[in-house]
């Protein structure tokens, strides 16, 4: 079952990359994720049911996510709404849109249809053991996406985006409109989240309108766990790797909670509580680390 943790961690890792881009690089806490994740799932599933080419379906899911992100960015930029509220607005609207996309149903299964995953497992089942097909496949997919994200953030545009989360005035001083950068960044991030949702739907065998509930918390927890692995680095390759590794670790913890939680009388309903507590604990540890550092510095300077 270890490979199941890895597969889940990798699928959700794509979403974590998206969350990492908005929260850490752009400094734009974006809650659209809770809506764009099921949006990706809904678009993917509906396209599969309509018989669209499965790769085209994935592209459509990506574009849907990008549009959702752009909506949030536009609301924030032009109506001067705080970014958190803009994300909540889009997320709330997406709930209805997702149900519309799925044909006024809250849950649509795709167990018997041909999906990317079913065709992949068919293709390789002769020479890779069944349980490792998905693992290898998602390692490849996530690897490619990670490298693409890394390359993007090393381009001039990517570097400028990195500077914006740090120092918006610097970006303005360079003659770049920060609104444009936010729109591109948040759009791109939600595109990734939608792809993650599309894969999750195929892996689970259904799309559900509640699939994204609290997903932003999972994403944030994963990013924070990842940051524990390497505290400081300015290399984007390291940072994205940490985000994905954080996602896998997070899912390992959740897996333990789900399967062995009964030992301490825990039910799957308690998982959201655990997620929240996990984030709080991580925050406390980070804070105390910082305090210790400043205390040591103060002592040295004395």
Partner 1 sequence: MIVLKNVSMVFNPGTVNENPAINTINLKINEGDFITVIGSNGAGKSTLFNLIAGTITPTQGSLALNNRDITHEPEYKRAQYIGRIFQNPLLGTASNMSLEDNMMITHKKGFKWIKRSLNNRMRDYFKTELVQLKMGLEDRMKENLAMFSGGQRQALTLLMMVLSKPELILLDEHTAALDPKNAEIVLELTHKFIKEYKLTSMMITHNMTHAIEFGNRLLMMDKGEIIFDVEGEEKKALTVEKLIEKFHQIRHKTYENDRSLLSED
Binding residues (CB under 8 A) for partner 1: these are 151-152, 154-160, 162-163, 166-167, 169-178, 180, 234
**Minimal distance, residue 277 CB to partner 1, in Å:** 29
Comparison of 179 and 292: residue with beta carbon closer to partner 1: 179
Comparison of 155 and 288: residue with beta carbon closer to partner 1: 155
**Minimal distance, residue 23 CB to partner 1, in Å:** 14
Comparison of 119 and 180: residue with beta carbon closer to partner 1: 180
SS3 294: helix
The partner residues of 125 in beta bridges, in order of sequence, read none
Identify the helix (H) or strand (E) that includes residue 21.
none
Q: Which ranges constitute the DSSP H helices of 115-176?
A: 116-124, 130-152, 156-166, 168-173
Q: Write down how long the chain is.
A: 302
**Contact between residue 115 and residue 134 where contact means Cβ atoms under 8 Å apart:** no
Comparison of 178 and 205: residue with beta carbon closer to partner 1: 178
Report the sign of the C-alpha dihedral through residues 153, 156, 159, 160, in that order.
negative
**Contact between residue 33 and residue 212 where contact means Cβ atoms under 8 Å apart:** yes
- Backbone φ and ψ for 127, nearest 5 degrees, come out as -125, 0
Comparison of 96 and 180: residue with beta carbon closer to partner 1: 180
Nearest to 282 by CA among 220, 235, 236: 220
Other beta carbons within 10 angstroms of residue 297's beta carbon come to: 10
**Minimal distance, residue 174 CB to partner 1, in Å:** 6
Q: What pairing do the DSSP bridges indicate for beta strands 107-109 and 206-208?
A: antiparallel
**Minimal distance, residue 26 CB to partner 1, in Å:** 13
**Minimal distance, residue 300 CB to partner 1, in Å:** 17
Residue partners of 239: CB distance under 8 A and separation at least 6: 20, 24, 233
Comparison of 126 and 173: residue with beta carbon closer to partner 1: 173
**Minimal distance, residue 239 CB to partner 1, in Å:** 10
**Contact between residue 223 and residue 33 where contact means Cβ atoms under 8 Å apart:** no
**Minimal distance, residue 235 CB to partner 1, in Å:** 9
Comparison of 110 and 171: residue with beta carbon closer to partner 1: 171
């Amino acid at each position: 079952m270890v490979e199941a943790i890895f597969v889940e961690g990798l699928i959700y890792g794509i979403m974590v990359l998206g969350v990492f881009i908005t929260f850490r690089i752009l400094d734009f806490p974006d809650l659209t994720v809770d809506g764009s994740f099921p949006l990706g799932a809904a678009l993917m599933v509906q396209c599969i049911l309509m018989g669209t080419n499965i790769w085209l379906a994935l592209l459509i899911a990506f574009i849907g996510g990008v549009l959702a992100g752009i909506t949030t960015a536009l609301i924030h930029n032009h109506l001067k709404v705080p970014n958190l509220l803009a994300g909540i607005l889009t997320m709330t609207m997406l709930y209805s849109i997702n149900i519309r996309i799925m044909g006024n149903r809250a849950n649509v299964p795709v167990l018997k249809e041909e999906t990317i995953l079913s065709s992949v497992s068919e293709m390789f089942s002769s020479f890779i053991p069944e349980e490792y097909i998905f693992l290898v496949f998602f390692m490849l997919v996530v690897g490619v996406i990670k490298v693409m994200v890394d390359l993007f953030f090393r381009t001039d545009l990517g570097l400028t985006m990195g500077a914006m989360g740090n120092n918006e005035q610097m970006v303005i001083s360079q003659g770049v409109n920060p609104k444009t950068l936010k729109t591109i960044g948040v759009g791109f991030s939600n595109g990734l989240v939608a792809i993650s949702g599309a894969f999750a739907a195929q892996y689970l065998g259904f799309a559900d309108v509640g699939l994204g509930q609290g997903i932003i918390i999972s994403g944030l927890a994963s990013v924070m766990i990842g940051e524990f692995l390497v505290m400081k680095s300015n290399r984007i390759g390291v940072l994205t790797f940490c985000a994905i590794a954080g996602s896998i670790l997070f899912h390992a913890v959740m897996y333990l909670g789900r399967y062995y939680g009964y030992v301490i009388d825990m039910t799957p309903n308690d998982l959201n509580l655990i997620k929240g507590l996990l984030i709080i604990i991580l925050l406390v540890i980070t804070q105390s680390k910082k305090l210790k550092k400043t205390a040591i510095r103060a002592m040295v300077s004395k």
